Amino acid sequence: MKYIKLPIDPVVTELYRQGPNPDFNFPSTTAKLLDILASGLTPQNPQATLDASDYARTCGYTSQSALQKQVRKDLKVLAALSLPAGDRGARCQLLTDIQSSGGKLTVTFSPPVARRLTHCPRVDFPTALFSVDAKKQNSYFIGRRLAEFGTAAHTTPAGLLLESCPYIPSPDDFEGSRSILKRQVVDVFDASMNALQSAGIITWQYKTCDISSYQAFEDSMVEFQFTDHPLYRTSVGERTPIHIDLAPYLKSGETFNRTLIF
């Protein structure tokens, strides 16, 4: 599986966590577009260029018209966004320019935003997440949260993952019985994680699970592991074989050769 280095800026992460409301909606398709554009930024250049055919292939679009329609919607959201620009409450536009020509999209980030996105931590991010079904809105945001841990495998409270799900009721918004909790929160969370597993991005399971209340479920422990994570490949898959010839230590006529992986 291919991985890229994705900038993880806390302001952008918090933006993604805002649930849909009458005044604001930030769907996973918009988040995917912003993440791909942000990953292409360099400290020397506030512009990011996207090839339409590459983007369609990465995100799983099979229809050119569907691609164009969705990108127009997502760009409209991004063009209207302003983000904090400093410590005094100042804000600046996310993008200052959008150009499209010859099947390529070029956007210019405002200098404060570009500076922040090129100087924040970067994590290994599986590109397969970009092609997760857009109808499974929470799956992309959960997958992104998993990547933020910066590890190949991890155990975390479910509550830390629920925070990243704008389409699952938060504890403040939730009211209902245990059966409603299971239907509106637990089942939706499980389906989102299972979608990532079905796509071959992760494997996962509960280490502990308690659905007697919302808080109890938040305290449940979730184990996950990314498939073919670069850290795993470095620590395990790319270890150097060491061949040890034991011939000098064997009796005459015996043969033995062992390969150890360290």
pLDDT tens, residue by residue, 120-132: 999 999 999 999 9
Cα–Cα distance for residue pair 154/140, rounded to 1 Å? 18
In angstroms, rounded to a whole number, what is the distance separating the alpha carbons of residues 215 and 19? 20
Residue 63 sits at φ, ψ, to 5 deg, of -115, 125
3-state secondary structure of 200: coil
φ, ψ of residue 177 in degrees (nearest 5): -80, 180
- What lies within 8 Å, CB to CB, of 144 at 6+ separation is 6, 16, 31, 35, 125, 129, 164
pLDDT at 18: 76
Q: What is the token pair recorded at 24?
A: 């604001």
pTM of the full predicted structure?
A: 0.85
The list of the chain residues with pLDDT below 50 reads: 236-246, 249, 255-262
Check residue 3 and give its pLDDT: 96
What pLDDT is attached to residue 87?
65
Q: Which residues contact residue 254 at a Cβ distance below 8 angstroms, ignoring those fewer than 6 apart?
A: none
CA angle 80, 83, 85 (to 5 degrees): 135
Residues 188 and 161 sit within 8 Å (Cβ to Cβ): no
pLDDT for the residue 240: 42
Residue 193: how many CB atoms within 10 A of its CB? 24
Residues near 92 by Cβ (< 8 Å), separated by ≥ 6? 82, 83, 85, 110, 112, 113
Q: pLDDT value at position 183?
A: 95
Report the distance separating Cα 262 and Cα 255, nearest Å: 23
**In 3-state terms, what secondary structure has residue 93?**
strand
Name the amino acid, one letter, at 205. Answer: Q
Going along the chain from its start, the domains and CATH numbers come out as 3-126 (1.10.10.10), 132-236 (1.10.10)
